[in-house]
Structure 1
Amino acid sequence: MNEAQASERLIVNCLPLTDEERAAFRAAAPGVRQEFAGNPMERGTMVWKARVPADLRGAATAVVGNIPPEDCSGYPRLEWLQTWSAGVDRYVAPGVLAEGVTVTNATGAYGQTVGEHLFAMMWALMRNIPAYARQQDERRWHDLGRALTPAGATVLVIGTGDIGSHFATLCKAVGARTVGVRRDRTKPADGIDEMHGFDELDALLPEADVVALAVPASPQTDHLIDAKRLHLLKSTCVLLNAGRGNAVDPLALAAALAEDQLHGAGLDVTEPEPLPASSPLWDEPHCLITPHVAGGNHLEATERRIIAIALENVRRYAAGEPLVNVRR
């Protein structure tokens, strides 16, 4: 990029950065104007807000932050949007952004936090901890019987990107055998012992002791786990979902749990969200539900990774190099 082109660009950065981090962003894009709109007081909170002053929207050629999708039409010069989320469905939907706007996300930042959450849910269900917690509320002292262990278990990971890979690595560390399912079975992933395609899913499900889903929303993954596939699972299987809620049919799952078709289910995402109070899943003692909190900014390490991804892309944008994590 020549000096004239650089001077015409404006990056509005909504990350809640420290003074030192803002200096690093300035150094990464010499000659490119940058305005910092993030509130440092939001660091360490669960919610970051992208507040772009009205006078900057018309001039911004790049924005770092999850601006409201309904406001995107107010950025006539926008070339590039860097989100701090991994999901960008709201921005790549037809008509939200102008044609030609590049969208990049924070894939790579959330693997640790979501993977650890899945791992914690898995082990809690194996040891019957949710059911014991309900007993504690009732002041009951009762042995719930046989527990399970990940040692020697077959863990089927459906979706072996950053999240699935982190979860699989944790499972292998405690003695599990890991089997992955992804669109391209020839592509390996850390923590996965053997890889398969989606066309093999029905043959793999009956052998799994744990099934963990970390798939994005798509027509192909809608109700990927339905009544038919729930019937394929062992009665001792643990089902986990921390990808997209619509990957599991909630009514079929409730029926399967009520009939003891599987040992338990751990859900950080549901269909719909929030899960309605009328859902029978709330009353199921073998279902552990968390309110979509596996990701977000619950770990400081996640915040650091989001900032590092954005910093590298700002450097690349200023230098005219290909961006990373391109989703459109």
Structure 2
Amino acid sequence: MSLPPITLTGHMQKEAWQNKLLPPVEQLNNDVWSIPVPFPNNPMRYTLSYLLLGDGDAVLIDPGWDSEAGLDHLIRGLRQAGIGLRDLTGIVATHYHSDHLGMAARLRVKSGAWVALGDREVRRLSACEDEDLVVLRDREELTLWGVPADRLAEVAMDKPTLAHLQNLADPDLRLQDGELVPAKGLDLSVITTPGHSPGHICLVDAPHGLIFSGDHVLPRISPHIALELPGPPNPLEDYYESLDRVAFEDVMEVCPAHEYRFRGMQRRAAQLVEHNRERSAEVLSVMNRHRPQTIWDIARHLTWSRGWDSLQAFSLRLAVSETASHVMYLRSRGHSIDIPVTLPSPAAHVNSAS
């Protein structure tokens, strides 16, 4: 089915995206600025942070990956907007991923600003968790999904990755669905949109006609919907429900955290639903044609933009976890798929081992 295209608004951002360049800092209106922050060694290349200026308050949405280069770009963007780091009063991350929440801890120290996440967001790892147990469970999960023994080290979490995740900022504030971000002179409301992460949020600036969509809705890429263990049992179903929640109109400008701005939230949400429905249908087709025994077996028969053989390391992990999310969704819709997906709970695991 052919769906109507979205309407491009971030022309300079799209040109920079196509030319593999960092887009410029842009003033969207008197009170809102778009500031790109580099995302090094990643095909996404940058995170689009958004600065909102209120009545003495200044809130930054999605500060981006923590690096010296990123901090430098952010500081220069703030200067263009007429403020410095110490003028920041709040930092909101749409979700816990490192290219969104990453710089929040450093900025909080330098500015004194509070850090906020959605009230349903779950930090994958906290500082008190046993690293050895986390590594063990992760490898058990990937083995259950059929990742070959000679690819486990490439795909599994390692201790440096765990240390990075454990050092992400814990929030000072938790934002509930329908709540206003606590900043004077701003009318910024929260919509809880789980799917890409357990407690992802979008933010609506109705007076300026803007929706800050994080990674929930991007103009070209279909956001990754992964099965995270532990985590919500059916993230793809959560994602469909969340798309319905943000597709309440089609005229406001959508300000995503990657790629470029556009109008047409309803149109783009419909495209994303269609894309994921087609993906689930492809999973069923693979089940019927190849009789796979594991998640890995399904994933290697699916269509990938650069081909299955091109997937390595983190990209390969994402592909397998995305496939697992489709299997869980299809099961919830009544399809009989007899493939192992979930591990026993940690408590059950310990009991059975003893």
TM-score, length-normalised on structure 1?
Answer: 0.29
Larger Rg: 1
TM-score, length-normalised on structure 2?
Answer: 0.27
